[in-house]
Chain A
């Protein structure tokens, strides 16, 4: 096999795109200047005909078509992960190209339904990342005690596991009576399931372990009743929760909040949409309001970085300070 380091280089030195990510357009142009991969192959067995830029065009057209025909807007979703999910659907439908999927998709609403499920899958768990809940108890709860009334927005709540987790935490800290949790998700189906409050029984052992590591003060089994193969969570935990459908891409804020939780949702957005949603959160928080992100999501490199201070750097809990 060839060692490619000896080839005439394209441009000088290390790739610009790795060094100056902001220059996206120049980067694209530079990439377009490269000889097409197929013409430089010296290995006849290597199928080098794959053209990532052409595929990007196909995917952008597909997302545009979905938006214009069905009204679902995935155009600002993170390209790499939406691409991966599209390809899983393409393979499941025994198709071979993105354009092939587009043809079927625009004429078959049933296929759109299937793709919609693929694209809106949310992974969640009760007390997911227990250290986050522990940090919330230690660093955020003392601040919340100073408020007579606490408004919390859980944006992207999926099937509700993390909403019930927060309700349990607030109950144990004696704050639930004065709290109201607004739990929203783009997907009505999962909001409906969240409202039902029934989670798979086989995950209760994992959730119990999470609960203990999250600083849980009681016995986790107090909070649910086993019914058939589901665990029905106490309806009392829902008494101060409002579940509703809300679209972070298109909808505006609907109140001022003391706490906004949005964990592992923004990773599915591209940087432009992330910036817009950060604007929405900033505008929706009271002064000294709390923003909690997923454990690998950060305000660093965002224009809002300087508007917040870190309450817990490791657990990505921030406080709006200016």
Chain B
């Protein structure tokens, strides 16, 4: 039973994320956490753009905000995003391989916290961030999905992830959402949205 899906992407990420999130139902049962490399000046814009593409609730994470199902929660620029018992925790520790937020940092935190209940997804990107983190997710018993590099705007990041985790499930961009729904089935519609008032 999965409890969280964390998605890492860089160059080409906005378009790829739009495709994935548009394919998920509003009843998608587990929290989605997004780490997308971007300029520190772009605060807020990504969440707005993605919100127009999905029925899930998209927000940029504040420190100690709860991790919520039905939400897509985005790492803010210039902070690393960690998870701790149902909450996010931000740090301004040094960039890792020039990135803050670093996909590896968030993936590792999710791997250690959620173990086999974590899904890691690596999409398009022009650097190798995310490969080590995805390896860690799998090492802790979690599940790995990598965008088919052939369908990626920039294949470097998914290719690196596949080298690190050769057994990862490979999906064309258009199939990523469908695969997420298969392995993490949406909750029955009768269920309410506990926590939605916190949005």
Chain A positions within 8 Å of B, measured between CB atoms, are: 1, 3-5, 7, 9-10, 13-15, 17-21, 24, 27-28, 37, 40-41, 43, 46-48, 50, 52, 78-81, 84-85, 121, 123, 264, 266-268, 271, 274, 294-298, 300-301, 314
Contacts and interface: CB of A to CB of B under 8 A. Distances in A.
B109 A80 contact: yes
A80 B115 contact: no
A15 B83 CA distance: 14
B140 A48 contact: yes
Given A4-B143, A81-B82, A296-B61, A123 B92 contact: yes
Given A19-B68, A19-B69, 7 more contacts: A18-B3, A21-B85, A28-B85, A80-B82, A81-B89, A123-B92, A271-B64
A294 B92 CA distance: 11
Contact of B183 (A4, A123, A296): A4
Given A46-B141, A266-B63, A267-B89, A79 B69 contact: no
Contacts of A17: 85-86
Find the residue from B60, B63, B76, B168 having the highest chain A CB count within 10 A.
B63
Contact of B66 (A14, A21, A43, A297): A21
Contacts of B44: 314
A5 B86 contact: no
B93 A121 contact: yes
Interface string B49-77: 00000000000111111111100000010
A21 B139 contact: no
Find the residue from A294, A295, A300 having the highest chain B CB count within 10 A.
A295
Contacts of A268: 91
Contact of B67 (A18, A43, A79, A81): A18
16 contacts: A1-B143, A1-B144, A3-B143, A3-B183, A4-B117, A4-B143, A15-B30, A15-B86, A18-B3, A18-B86, A46-B141, A84-B109, A271-B64, A296-B60, A301-B64, A301-B65
Interface residues of B, number: 58
B82 A14 contact: no
B63 A298 contact: yes
Interface string B21-48: 0000000011100000000000110000
Contacts of A81: 82, 89, 91, 93
A13 B62 contact: no
Given A48-B140, A52-B113, A296-B63, A19 B92 contact: no
B92 A264 contact: yes
Nearest first, the 7 closest Cβ-Cβ pairs linking A and B are A80-B82, A17-B86, A80-B84, A80-B89, A123-B92, A81-B91, A9-B1
Given A4-B143, A298-B63, A84 B91 contact: yes
B1 A7 contact: yes
Contacts of A296: 60-63, 76, 79, 90
B141 A5 contact: no
Given A5-B2, A296-B62, A85 B93 contact: yes
B139 A47 contact: yes
Contacts of A264: 92
A19 B194 contact: yes
Interface string B76-112: 1001001111110111111000000000010001001
Given A14-B30, A21-B66, A46-B139, A4 B92 contact: no
Nearest to B83: A80
Given A3-B183, A18-B31, A266-B63, A295 B43 contact: yes
B68 to A, nearest CB: 6
A84 B116 CA distance: 20
B163 interface: no
B137 to A, nearest CB: 11
Nearest to A8: B1
